[in-house]
Amino acid sequence: MKKANENKLPSWNEAIKVNFRGLKLLFSHCGPAVISRLVFAAWKALSPYVTVWLSARLIDAIAFGKDPATLIRLAILTLASVFAAELVSALLEKWKNTENALRWHSLRHMYHQKFGAMDFPDADDPAVREKYTAIQNFMWGGNWGMNRLLNNTEKMISSFCSLFGGIALSVTLFTQTVPESGGKLTLLNNPVVVIAVILAMIGITYFAPRLSSRADSCWSRLANKHLSANKLFSYFGWDLFEDEHAQEMRIYSQEKFAEGYQKNVKFGLFCSKGELARISWRERGLLMAAGSALGVVFTGLSYVFVCLKALGGAFGVGMVTQYVGAISKLSGSVSGLVSSIGEMRNNAPFIENSLEFMSIPNKMYRGTLTVEKRRDRNYEIEFRNVSFKYPGSDAYALKNVSMKFRVGSRLAIVGQNGSGKSTFIKLLCRLYDPTEGEILLNGIDIRKYDYANYMSVFSVVFQDFRLLAFKLGENVGGCRDYDREKVLDSLEKAGFSERLATLPDGLDTWLYKNFEDGVNLSGGEAQKLAIARALYKNAPFIILDEPTAALDPMAEAEIYSRFNDISGDRTAIYISHRLSSTRFCDEIAVFHAGEIVQQGTHAGLLADEAGQYARLWNSQAQYYTES
């Protein structure tokens, strides 16, 4: 991001290094796709020269009146080699297409894998998400980044092979001399003329693509505006038309926002009066036109040179077709090569984005111990002087928290919104590490356990849980080939059976509308599914963070007491800001402003009339008279 933000192109040296590192990354994630494309490109560039060469021989043979047997032999050879070349092309293309059909997918997969593997605080960091959004946006808008790197490398290899073949077939153009009978045309034999023509050709093929590459460099210079404009585009183009916006869109005519923002300097890059349109008319347009014009001059110059030499008698008609064929390919290949080199530099900041994202290091310590599998499920958790600040925040979300609890007990964590309850759980589950202090499981710092193994100890129904737009049973089972009996049992325990009976496809009912015409669940129903999912995992710890606003106090209390019945011998942790939901717990910890201010049983805590618990209880009492 840094480079793209500065809107300055990197040095050549830097650009080449970045391109190489990018290629290495591509090779390691989709090697066969990359190799098949490069091999195909090389073959496609080289194979036409066989035809050019053989055709020239054939024309010469006709022109010089060779015997029919030689002619037939040459004709058959030409046809056979064209046939063979096309056959190989077709096979290589098939290979390339098959390997590349999933390339987009593999690129996305590469980023997603990285997301999954990075430390949670990084995955949750807005700056990291922004980096990923930038990668996506530049990929969709203008194909910048890794995909262009592959296209460009392909172009470079193809141009290089084509250049090589072109030189091989046209080098004699400069060495064959016009005989004395050519009169004034013998002037073309003069080394000064030959060198001048070669220099002119090199000059043009060098400058023409540089002009178009300069024209294209506006994309890197405008990278920031491009990103903003693209974000706006995808926001108005897709996000805003999703279900959740549809109602307000109509009531408040929100589509008008789009027009307003399109005219904005920061976001309006693509509109008809935007900066891109302006430079397309001026600088960029002129550069592109000049580049194309120079290309035509090259072709004209070389044709004149070939024709004049042929006229002077330096070579016959067969060679004319060979030279014309070779030179037209040559000019294309030199400009291709130079422009792909220019593109290496223009694309470098975008590749760098991907490289930076992919090389975010894992900083959280991950130990190797496995959590002891105890039949008696006798685990003890201890928080020892734990303090925590979220990354980038100066405020303590938890301050010097110390507490102990053992498995089998029912722990409740209560406190007002923002008092640190969810943060406590996130630390317990090692989504974040404490800023100070330590958390111990059976006396051992949880950092010393193997990460995945430690994760397997917890089932959590997060406050902001999400279900997937797949089949209901798959959501609960967590995979496609789940244990149906166990899922049904978990759903029953979570209180979802009645609703399940109303669904004609049962466990195979799709959720939401992303893929199939599935069901939309109410907040409470979704909560039950999330609980069933937690039960299915059958981990020793089961944690229920307070349900979102979707549930009223009565429904919440019902879910909690049901949860209590079904959690069996597991350690259950209940979190709520509604005290009535959790009063059945053996132990209640009261959080206030990131600290544990009280701890005890419901009755004991209520007895302390001046305490935070009693204060909260009294202020909430009006809601619970029914229960």
List of residues contacting ligand ADP (CB under 6 A): 390, 393, 397, 415, 417-423
Nearer to ligand ADP, 213 or 423 (CB): 423
Tokens standing for residue 520:
């939309």
What separation in angstroms does the CA of 105 have from each of 29, 135, 354, 401?
Answer: 11, 15, 16, 45
d(CA 18, CA 23): 9
Which DSSP symbol is given to 395? S
Q: How far apart are CA 405 and CA 587, in angstroms?
A: 9
- The pair of structure tokens assigned to 330 is 């040559």
In whole angstroms, how far apart are CA 489 and each of 74, 495, 539? 79, 10, 16
Answer with the entry of Mg ion, ligand ADP, none that 418 interacts with (C-beta below 5 to 8 A by kind): ligand ADP
With beta carbons less than 8 A apart as the criterion, state whether 413 and 435 touch. no
Question: Judged by CB under 5 A, which stretch of 20-28, 295-303, 459-467, 535-543 contacts Mg ion?
Answer: 459-467
Distance CA 508, CA 496 (A): 15
Amino acid at 36: S
Nearer to Mg ion, 220 or 422 (CB): 422
Residue 300 three-state SS: helix
Q: Which does 285 bind (CB under 5 to 8 A by kind): Mg ion, ligand ADP, none?
A: none
CB of 577 vs ligand ADP, minimal distance in Å: 7
Q: What angle do CA 565, 458, 501 make, to 5 degrees?
A: 50
| The one segment of 250-258, 417-425, 443-451, 522-530 that binds Mg ion by CB under 5 A | 417-425
Paired tokens of 548:
């979102």
Pick 465 or 624: Cβ nearer Mg ion:
465
Q: How far is the CB of 387 from ligand ADP (least distance, A)?
A: 12
d(CA 414, CA 420): 10
Closer by beta carbon to ligand ADP, 335 or else 423: 423
Sheet containing strand 436-441, strands side by side? 396-406, 380-389, 436-441, 444-445
Cα 234 to Cα 21, 135, 141, 513: the distances in Å are 30, 14, 10, 20
Q: For residues 103-162, which are near Mg ion according to CB under 5 A?
A: none
Among 212, 220, 422, 576, binds Mg ion (CB under 5 A): 422
Pick the closest to residue 332 from 200, 208, 149 (CA basis).
208
Q: Is the Cβ–Cβ distance between 405 and 541 less than 8 Å?
A: no
Whole-angstrom distance, CA of residue 573 vs CA of residue 567: 10
- Rounded-to-integer distance, Cα 480 and Cα 484, Å: 11
| Residue 368 partner contact from ligand ADP, Mg ion, none using kind-dependent CB cut-offs of 5 to 8 Å | none
Is the Cβ of residue 422 or residue 475 nearer to Mg ion in the bound state?
422
Contact between 302 and Mg ion per CB under 5 A: no
Residue type, 602: H
Token pair in block for residue 572: 């259950």
From ligand ADP, Mg ion, none, interface partner of 393 (C-beta below 5 to 8 A by class): ligand ADP
Binding partner selected for residue 95 from Mg ion, ligand ADP, none, CB under the kind-specific 5 to 8 Å limit: none
Give whichever of 228 and 419 is closer to ligand ADP, judged by the CB atom.
Answer: 419
Residue 423 makes contact with Mg ion by CB under 5 A = no
| 205 binding Mg ion? (CB under 5 A) | no
Which of 186, 159, 157, 189 is closest to 174 using CA atoms? 189
Task: List Cα–Cα distances, 268 to 6, 140, 263, in angstroms.
Answer: 20, 17, 5
Q: How far is 287 from 280, CA to CA, in rounded Å?
A: 9
Q: Binding to Mg ion by residue 189, rule CB under 5 A? A: no
The nearest distance, CB 582 to ligand ADP, in angstroms, is: 13
For Mg ion, the closer CB: 421 or 602: 421
Q: Hey, is 397 helix, strand or coil?
A: strand
- CB-nearer residue toward ligand ADP: 345 or 577: 577
Distance of CA 119 to the CA centre of its chain: 17
Q: How many CA atoms lie within 13 A of 590 on its CB side?
A: 20
415, containing H or E segment? strand 410-415
For the record, the structure tokens of 164 come out as: 């090589």
**Closer CB to ligand ADP, 347 or 423, in the complex:** 423
Size of the site for Mg ion (CB under 5 A): 3
Q: What is the rounded CA–CA span in Å between residue 381 and residue 404?
A: 6
Between 115 and 206, CB nearer to ligand ADP: 115
Does 81 sit near Mg ion (CB under 5 A)? no
Q: Shortest Cβ distance from residue 415 to ligand ADP (Å)? A: 6
Between 205 and 422, name the residue whose CB sits nearer to Mg ion: 422
Which of ligand ADP, Mg ion, none binds 397 (CB below 5-8 Å, type-dependent)?
Answer: ligand ADP
Which of ligand ADP, Mg ion, none interacts with 272 (beta carbon under 5 to 8 A by kind)?
none
Q: How far is the CB of 414 from Mg ion (least distance, A)?
A: 11
Residue 463 in the binding site for Mg ion (CB under 5 A): yes
Residue matched to tokens 């990359």:
34
Q: Which does 415 bind (CB under 5 to 8 A by kind): Mg ion, ligand ADP, none?
A: ligand ADP
Q: What token pair was written down for 512? A: 């939401």
Q: Give the residue with the Cβ less far from Mg ion, 335 or 422.
A: 422
Q: How far is the CB of 136 from ligand ADP (least distance, A)?
A: 22
Place of tokens 């229920």: 544
55 binds Mg ion (CB under 5 A): no
Helices and strands: H and E segment counts in the chain: 23, 10
**Minimum distance, C-beta of residue 121 to ligand ADP, in the bound complex (Å):** 9
Query: Looking at beta carbons only, is 338 or 543 nearer to Mg ion?
Result: 543
Residues in 497-536 at the binding interface with Mg ion, rule: CB under 5 A: none
CB of 464 to Mg ion, least distance (A): 9
419 binds Mg ion (CB under 5 A): no
582 binds Mg ion (CB under 5 A): no
Q: Is 599 in the site for Mg ion (CB under 5 A)?
A: no
Please, what is the minimum distance in Å from the beta carbon of residue 621 to ligand ADP? 21
Residue 523 interacting entry, from Mg ion, ligand ADP, none, C-beta within 5 to 8 Å by type: none
Pick between residue 139 and residue 431 the one whose CB is nearest to ligand ADP: 431
Q: First vs last Cα of the chain: how many Å apart?
A: 56
**Which stretch, 379-387, 453-461, 462-470, 535-543, contacts Mg ion (CB under 5 A)?**
462-470
CB of 403 to Mg ion, least distance (A): 17
| Binding window for Mg ion (CB under 5 A); candidates: 58-66, 234-242, 420-428, 475-483 | 420-428
Residues forming the site for Mg ion (CB under 5 A): 421-422, 463
